[in-house]
Structure 1
């Protein structure tokens, strides 16, 4: 098997690249703004460059992980972000499909933010109804991928955490600074609930999907972590487990103050994967606290 991975220097991409290499799979990882030794630095929004790379590497599978994934940044740079999340995705899905000369299968990494959060848990067949531009861009990305080739796959994932390079790399690990910066009062929502997943778990799911590619139908698949946490729950966990005060923090029982709208609860049904024997889950408390250790 030969795999091409976009976003290989990102939070998820690093664990995907590491796992596939450890299994002896020939994988070409792409990066751009964060060059890393062993990866190919390439601007995936450059369609000609991507065409040439695919023609030369001839992968069996493309895992498209690169994206603008921060909702607030998406609102600030909507055109630039839409180009990456939708336009580039559409081009990649069209040039790399089962009917093209160098084609094969593509797995597009999407998000639970394609849902409104009003009626969880959501099945893979539930029509998306996003509340912000980020969710809209990822839902449109799903549509252009499957329109290009129904044999392509979409994998929706929740908020992720893992072995971060900086705390700000994950919307969850950055909460360590929120707790320990006691001179900065902050309001933290207990309203929005998420089902976080460790990046190593998602990498394992992608590996299983890749290994079953010959029999895996195209379409939408989903994975959520099996535990539900709000940001308020997480700052309490940090405070209790690491003996840090949280007197400067205030619980907000309604939607998060400031920023773009977030859905309340976007838990996704996992059965489409578990029915195929694909199931990876790290206990959140154990995995999350381990991720924080290098920054303590």
Structure 2
């Protein structure tokens, strides 16, 4: 931290599912009294967010040089596996090239970078995975994120990568998370005139609450702001294993609908996905960083009093 000046944090991708949670956590944290947090967004820029398109490398350079941040959190990415598979050039542009530009500028400015990555850098065959385990991504999304990790750490070895699994949290649209996106089909299946909803029961996931991840990221920022080193790769994950079929059953219980769900026990996705990428969170836990909200409590809070929950005909 520079003497006499606030600790400046640039949060890139502040309008997304995770970015909003991080912005909210940093705004209410005690550290906010001495920090200045600058939020950026591409498509949802508003009075609180500075418009920044990561594909415009010159604009990224101008923004960072003008701000001179102490830390940069990169929560923006192309994270939809099917989109990455069908448009690998776009995946590379956002997940690799943009991150390399940020890393290069950050190193010149002396800023610390924390970039969000994914459990999909692993093939899911030998969980749990520690940060030192060899990656083996199965799809274009995982490959692009792994290449982005390497680009960041090669450009600035003092930077840090935080790998995360399936995220869910306060949402603007049902489709923002693969957890909440199940809800319309769950409710629709409860209508006696509709067929059952097929839900994946093959892959084990570890749903992780974005407000909890925000607490983790705040802890990492505070650790670094105090002058302690934090570089390389770290993991954070929820600790409740469940398939999408399990998740759907829990959502149905919260909504009190008699959903007709069918367990699909073989993979059906066009894009290959790993079976179980449980991440070992021990490195951050050893630093006293972390928080986990039980899934049933978190999902009940998210779905309570939502005016846009699809009509429940069988209540």
| Interval containing the TM-score (normalised by the shorter chain) | over 0.9
- The alignment status of 1:228 with 2:241, answered yes or no, reads yes
- The alignment status of 1:252 with 2:240, answered yes or no, reads no
- The alignment status of 1:217 with 2:230, answered yes or no, reads yes
> CA shift at 1:184, angstroms?
5.7
Residues 1-296 of structure 1 mapped to structure 2, 5 A cutoff: 1-23=7-29, 24=32, 25-97=35-107, 100=108, 102-182=109-189, 183=194, 185-213=196-224, 214-247=227-260, 249-255=261-267, 257-293=268-304, 294=306, 295-296=308-309
C-alpha distance in 2 between matches for 1:239 and 1:95: 47
C-alpha distance in 1 between matches for 2:52 and 2:230: 30
C-alpha distance in 2 between matches for 1:241 and 1:92: 42
Aligned length: 291
**Which deviates further from its counterpart, 155-164 or 283-292?**
283-292
- Report the 3-state secondary structure (helix = DSSP H, G, I; strand = E; otherwise coil) of the residue aligned with 1:229: coil
Under a length normalisation based on structure 2, what TM-score does the superposition of the two structures give? 0.89
Under a length normalisation based on structure 1, what TM-score does the superposition of the two structures give? 0.95
C-alpha distance in 2 between matches for 1:128 and 1:177: 34
> CA shift at 1:217, angstroms?
2.9
C-alpha distance in 2 between matches for 1:140 and 1:173: 29
When Rg is computed on C-alpha atoms for both structures, the one with the higher figure is 2
Contact 1:62/1:105 (CA < 8 Å) preserved in 2?
Answer: yes
- Report the 3-state secondary structure (helix = DSSP H, G, I; strand = E; otherwise coil) of the residue aligned with 2:229: coil
> CA shift at 1:149, angstroms?
1.1
Unaligned runs of 5+ in 2: 1-6, 310-315
**Which deviates further from its counterpart, 234-243 or 197-206?**
234-243
Contact 1:11/1:169 (CA < 8 Å) preserved in 2?
Answer: yes
- Report the 3-state secondary structure (helix = DSSP H, G, I; strand = E; otherwise coil) of the residue aligned with 1:216: coil
**Which deviates further from its counterpart, 264-273 or 177-186?**
177-186
RMSD: 1.3
C-alpha distance in 2 between matches for 1:259 and 1:171: 16
C-alpha distance in 1 between matches for 2:279 and 2:195: 34
- Report the 3-state secondary structure (helix = DSSP H, G, I; strand = E; otherwise coil) of the residue aligned with 2:269: coil
Q: Which runs of 4+ in 1 moved over 6 A?
A: none
